[in-house]
Structure formats: C-alpha cells, structure tokens
A and B are shown apart, each in its own frame.
Chain A
Amino acid sequence: MSTIPIFADESWRLPSRGRVAMFCLIIGESAIFTIFVVAYIYYIGRSTYGPTPKILDVPIFNTVCLLSSSLTIMLAEREIDHGRMRSFTAWWALTMTLGIIFIAGTAAEWRDLIYNHGLTISTNLFGTTFYSLVGLHATHVIVGLVMLGLVLIFTLTGHVNQSHAERIQVLSLYWHFVDAVWVVVFTVVYIVGR
C-alpha cells in the first residue's frame, strides 16, 4: 500500500453526512406532499355531494404561529452555535410552544368541522382530500414536536451543549421544511381551493 504516492491535499473537506441525509429526506418527503397536493388540486370541486370548502375558516393565527416558529428556531440555532445555552433553551421552548399552539388550533378546527359541519374523512371527496392533506402535514408537525421535545428534555437535563450545534441544525432543517410545506398547503387548501 505504501506505493500510493501521498500528496498533501489539505483542503479535503466533505459535506456533513447529517445535512446530506436530511436534504435527501426532505426531497423524498416533498414527493409525498406533491402527490397529496396534486390529488387535492385535481379533486377541487369534484365532490358530488356534501359540504364544500366554503365551510373552512382561514387559520391566520395558526399560520402566523407556525411560520414565526421558523424564526425562533433560527435564533435558537444561532445561540447554540455561540454556546449560549440559556437563551438557546428559551428560544427552543418558544419554538415548541408555537408548534403546540398550531397543533391545538388544527385540533379545534377539526372539532368544529366534525361536530358543527358534519365533515369527516368519509363524508365526501372533499373531506377525504382535506383531512388527508392537512393531516399529513399535522403528522409531520407532531413528529417534529416529538423531536423538539426530546431535545428540550435533554437540554434541561444538561446533556446538550455547544458541540451538538450541528445536530441541532440538522433537526432544524426538518422544522423549516415542515413550515415551508405549510405555505404550500395553506395556499392550496385555504386560498386556491376555497
């Protein structure tokens, strides 16, 4: 093996595997969302009976909460990068709170739709496409909240420090993706489809 000519290549740097993997996951997830969004758009107005999208209220407050959580998680990333753990914990907890408010808002919206408007996933085609697309996104928010919660627990018990900054950033990529997808879902369901 020693016959390999050794040469000094000090600039040999490779991308972080966590980041590459998270970007790949995001590409795959985008394809899943694309299929559900295409199905939603194609089926707009094709429901033959039952409630229509007119019954939806635009969830402005929820949307503001979720989108601003992208900002707070960015601030948290910056804080852990500089090793300021206390303010990291604060921003991280705020991010989680905003996510929980979003999920609670979705739950309230669904409760209203089910009990006051009689719309369930099996009521008609609109119900099927609405609950599956919004539900797919909500599932991703819940998965994100579980991961955010784990990080928060480990932070509070003192197991997270500056050396984990990169892992926190990889996780944040997922959260940014969930927020970005909401922009698409929001536009399709509450603006185009209504």
Chain B
Amino acid sequence: MADQTLPLPGTVDLNPSRGAAFLEWLHSWVVTVDHKKLGILYAVYAIFFLLVAGAEAMAIRIQLAIPNNHFLSPELYNEFFTMHGTTMVFLVGMTLIFGFGNYLVPLMIGARDMAFPRLNAFSFWMSAFGGLLLYFSFIGGFGLYGMGSAPDVSWWAYAPLTAKAFSPGHNTDYWALALIVMGFGTLGAAINTLATAFSMRCRGMTLLRMPLFVWLMVVTSSLTLITITPLTAAQVMLIIDRYLGGHFFDTQAGGSATVWMHFFWIFGHPEVYVLILPAFGIASEVIPVFSRKAIFGYPAMVAASVGIAFVSLSVWAHHMFTIGMTSVSNAFFALSTMMVGIPTGIKIFNWIATMWGGKIRFATPMLFCTAFLFQFLCAGLTGIMLAVAPWDWQLHNSYFVIAHFHYTLTGSFVFCMFAGIYYWYPKVTGRMLSETLGKWHFWLFFFGFHMTFDTMHFVGMLGMPRSIYTYEPDRGWSTLNMIISVGGFIQAIAILIMAWNLINSYLHGAAAGNDPWDAWTLEWSTPSPPPDYNFAVDPVVRSRRPLWDIKHPNDPDWKYEQ
C-alpha cells in the first residue's frame, strides 16, 4: 500500500525552490494558531527585546560611568531610560511569561491546545504590534535625526509632565497608545490561560493535581485581569486629556496629578507580582526535579501564591510615601507591604525544604534557581526596609530603590526565566543547550549582577537620585558608578553567551530525547519537540507527578496523595 501513488488535486510542487520554501515556512509561522508555535514566537520576541533593552541599559551605564559625561544627549538619555523600563516590563517580562504559559500550560494539563487558539494568535499579534508601535517612535516624528520622538517621561509617566504643555510632540502618545494595544493583547492571553486551566484539563487532572507552574499562571492571569485594565483605563484618561482637551490630570481645572499616581501604581505594584509569580512557578518545577524530591508543602505553595495576589492589591501607595499622605495611610501601606513577607516567606521555606536532604544536581537550571532563592530573599529584605515609611522618605527615588527592584526583577525574575529557558529548551527544540556555555553564562551573569546591583545600594545610600543625566565628580559616586557600569557589561557578555548558546545548540546541540532531566510533569511524556497534536492518547492522571507513577508502578504517588 505504501508505494501506491495517490492522485492529488491541483499541482503540488514536491521540490519547491528555496524562496518558495522560505515563504511557506514564514507563512506557517504568521498564520499559526498552535499554542507551541505562539509560545515560541512570544519567547523569541521577548529575547529580541531583551537584547534591545539591554543595549539601552548599556548606553545608560556608559553615560553614568564617569562624572560629567556626554556620551548621550540629555534628551536621548531620558528616552533611553524610559524605553529601557517600558520595554523590560511590557515587551520582555509580560511576553516572556505568556510565552512560557502558552507553551507549557496545555502540555502540563494534558490538553490539545489552548481554550481559544485564534484568540491566542490575536493576543500575540496585538502584543507584537504594540511593541513595534512603541519602537516606531524612534523613527517616527522627526525621523532618525535627533532620534525621533521616543517616550521620555519615564515608565510611570507622572502627571503633569505628560500634559500637552510639558510634553509636546508625540512622545507620550506613543507610550500610551502602544501600551493600550499591548494591554488588550495581555488581557486576551490572561483570559485564554484561565479558560485553558479551568476547562481543558485531562481526565483526573484536578485543580490540586495541577503542576505548580500552571497554578502560578492561573494566579498571575487572574491578577493580570485586574491590574492591566486599570492601566488601560488611566491611559485612556491620559489620551482624553491630550487629544480631547480633558481635565483629568489638569490641576488648573481641578484635576489631580496624585490621582494619576494612584491609578498608575494600582497597576504598577501588582504588575511586579504578575511578573514574579510565573518565575516562582518555574522555580517550583525546577527545584524538585533537580533535588529529586517532590515539592514540599504543595497546598501551602498554592495558598501562598493566591495570598500574594490578594495582598499585592493593597500595597500600591508604598510608592507614594513622599507625596504627603496621612499617617494612617502611611501606616496602612507600610503594614500591608510587610504582610507580603509572610506568603513569600512560606514559599522560600518550602523551596529550601524541598532541597533539604535532596540529591541535588547542579545543572544550569538549578544553578539559576539556587541563586534566585538568595537574591529573592535579599530583594524581599530591602523591600521591607523600603516599606518603613521614614526609611523610604530618606531613600525615595534614590539608587537604593533601583537596586531593590532590579534585585527582584533581574535577580529573581530574570534568573528564573533563564532557569526555565535552560530547563525547557530541550523539550521545545529537541536539543540540549551546551552545559559549558550555560555555566559560563550563569557565573558571569551572577558576578556581573552582584557587582552592579549590590553596589547600587551603596551609591543610593550616598544620595545618588535615580533618572539623573550626570553628576559632579566631587560627590564621591564616581568609583562606585564605574564598578556598576563594569558589572553591567559583564552581564551583557553573559547574555550574548546565552544568545549564542541558543542559536548554536539549535543547530549542533546533542539530541535531548523525551525526558532529559528525568522529570515528572506531563510535557516530558511527549516527544521533543512535541507533535502538533501534543498527546497521541489523552493522558489520564492520578497524582501530582503523573510521570513518576509511570516510571515507578510499584511505588506510585497516588497511594499517598489524598
């Protein structure tokens, strides 16, 4: 039967030319609604913008490396630090978490695809075009001469700096419109993730058997629903002010600049939890597998994640201690911020308890997760310091704050994302990443990170404010700033090693097989890379570690789990 020729309708070019084959390949990626391809698109897009925003950070660090420097013009400097922050949060962070979520959530719960594949493609392309719109600002307006009209009001865009009078041209409009477009994409992705996790689970995959990464994506998506939307609402108000002559943030007409701050941070603070929760999810998958133990305290981990989401909604005004709130408000937001320490503390202890007595393998993903534990702890401790209102009055808008949130977003979020990339790359491509390059990447990034961000705490306590263009040599910040900049470049080298590793291993890496890490969640039961249909047979699950049950039929988990 196999050598029979079947008549095909129309003409099929069995040996298409290179150009035609390329177009065919490109077309398959543009029109795809497959969650795996969209997940890869999200991740590639995020890594591309990681390099772009990283380059902006390097330019900022060159500018600040020595006093009275004029490497960048003041205008361009403002554009660069605004775009660095906006890009890292929205184009790198948000797209990377939904990239991981897209790829892994259906595979981990044994589903064929996301709940709404076309909505999924729509969400991705909305995010993608939002990002392009944001970066078009560099060539929009006055064109490349003078570097166009990129947003230059910083990523929190405080009123009244964003009013027409103080921000003429289209800089602020690009910022608001691009983020509104991306916001709709994110909203779609969050709805899709929730519908997938609740409605697409395979038989036996009860809510309390879902892998923790899926749980964390559920929590983060729920949080996204109620945090991205206030930003969209506030930006619509800003657009009304700028285009229709509205007065929301116009203090002369009775409007209030403080209201913008509240609205922005009602979005802005939960946003960092939106980013960090999937990072927790990755750590909760990687640490057990590389410690050869089941996760310690699964129900407590789930409860702590939901708890973090709830507490994070009531802490936003700790960004605003210096605007002169009442003592009651200051006390409330100081205490609610410290409350975050309780559920996050539970999580840190559970991860350590998972490693305790385990047979730990320090492969690259585990190295990143181990560093994450200590860095996240430090970030949490400086967070509690900054939650003390009088301490914050001293250090508000100083480099101490910059150091704190880069400890959470780089030291914790990015480290976990790297762990996730090293952990799931074999599943996605079918090839292992080079461990040697991975270790170089880790150690260089680790040392660069500490050189940069540890030092930033000190320069902050010496009084260096954030967002300044340059400084005088007699301030005593010169040496420390040079150390920070050198550390930044060490990190940049590490990132380039990772980029090279990603490309080179894709072409020449060792074959991975289905399950290179001897892991326990469902995605490792499929071939690498998984076929379009994911699972040849719909899986049936009886415990939190379905692959453990298969590998150890005499000692399955479901005998012990309730």
Q: Report if A60 contacts B (CB, 8 A).
A: no
Q: Report if A184 contacts B (CB, 8 A).
A: no
Contact (Cβ within 8 A) A24 B191:
yes
Residues on the A chain within 8 Å of B233, using CB: 31-32, 35-36
Q: How far is the CB of A26 from chain B (nearest CB, A)?
A: 9
Q: How far is the CB of A173 from chain B (nearest CB, A)?
A: 13
Q: Report if B397 contacts A (CB, 8 A).
A: no
Contact (Cβ within 8 A) A122 B244:
yes
Contact (Cβ within 8 A) A35 B263:
yes
Q: Which 8 A-B pairs have the closest CB atoms?
A: A122-B245, A17-B199, A35-B233, A128-B246, A31-B229, A46-B254, A17-B115, A28-B225
Complexed CA–CA distance, A43 and B194 (Å): 35
Contact of B199 among A15, A121, A125 (CB under 8 A): A15
Contact (Cβ within 8 A) B246 A32:
no
Residues on the A chain within 8 Å of B194, using CB: 20-21, 24
Q: Interface of B with A (CB < 8 Å)?
A: 115-116, 187, 190-192, 194-196, 198-201, 203-204, 221-222, 225-230, 232-234, 236-237, 240-241, 244-248, 250, 252-256, 259, 263, 266, 525, 536-537, 539-540, 542, 546, 549-550, 553, 556
Contact (Cβ within 8 A) A121 B240:
yes
Q: A7-B540, A21-B116, A42-B259 are in contact. Are A122 and B246 (CB under 8 A)?
A: yes
Residues on the B chain within 8 Å of A29, using CB: 229
Q: How far is the CB of A107 from chain B (nearest CB, A)?
A: 18
Q: Report if A27 contacts B (CB, 8 A).
A: yes
Complexed CA–CA distance, A128 and B241 (Å): 8
Contact (Cβ within 8 A) A21 B540:
no
The residue in chain B whose Cβ has the minimal distance to the Cβ of A6 is: B540
Q: Other CB < 8 Å A-B pairs besides A17-B198, A43-B254, A128-B248, 15 of them? A: A1-B525, A1-B539, A1-B550, A4-B539, A4-B546, A4-B549, A15-B199, A20-B194, A21-B192, A35-B234, A35-B263, A36-B237, A39-B259, A48-B253, A125-B254
Residues on the A chain within 8 Å of B229, using CB: 28-29, 31-32, 35
Residues on the B chain within 8 Å of A125, using CB: 247-248, 250, 253-255
Q: How would residues 86 to 110 of chain A score, 1 for a CB under 8 Å from any chain B CB and 0 otherwise?
A: 0000000000000000000000000
Contact (Cβ within 8 A) A3 B553:
yes
Contact (Cβ within 8 A) B230 A35:
yes
The residue in chain A whose Cβ has the minimal distance to the Cβ of B248 is: A128
Complexed CA–CA distance, A24 and B228 (Å): 13
Looking at chain A, what size class is its interface with the partner chain? Answer: 35 or more
User: B-side binding surface: helix, strand, loop or mixed?
Assistant: helix
Q: Report if A187 contacts B (CB, 8 A).
A: no
Complexed CA–CA distance, A1 and B116 (Å): 28
Contact (Cβ within 8 A) B199 A16:
yes
Q: A5-B542, A7-B540, A24-B195 are in contact. Are A17 and B230 (CB under 8 A)?
A: no
Q: A4-B549, A21-B116, A24-B194 are in contact. Are A31 and B540 (CB under 8 A)?
A: no
Contact (Cβ within 8 A) A43 B203:
no
Complexed CA–CA distance, A3 and B194 (Å): 31
Contact of B203 among A12, A42, A128 (CB under 8 A): A12
The residue in chain B whose Cβ has the minimal distance to the Cβ of A21 is: B195
Residues on the A chain within 8 Å of B241, using CB: 128
Contact (Cβ within 8 A) A47 B253:
yes
Q: Report if A169 contacts B (CB, 8 A).
A: no
Q: How would residues 42 to 60 of chain A score, 1 for a CB under 8 Å from any chain B CB and 0 otherwise?
A: 1100111100000000000
Which residues in window 162-189 of A have CB below 8 A to B?
A: none
Residues on the B chain within 8 Å of A15, using CB: 198-199
Contact (Cβ within 8 A) A24 B190:
yes
Q: A1-B525, A128-B240 are in contact. Are A28 and B253 (CB under 8 A)?
A: no
Contact (Cβ within 8 A) A14 B234:
no
Residues on the B chain within 8 Å of A121, using CB: 240, 244-246
Q: How far is the CB of A98 from chain B (nearest CB, A)?
A: 28
- Residue of A9, A21, A28, A30 ringed by the most chain B CB atoms within 10 A: A28
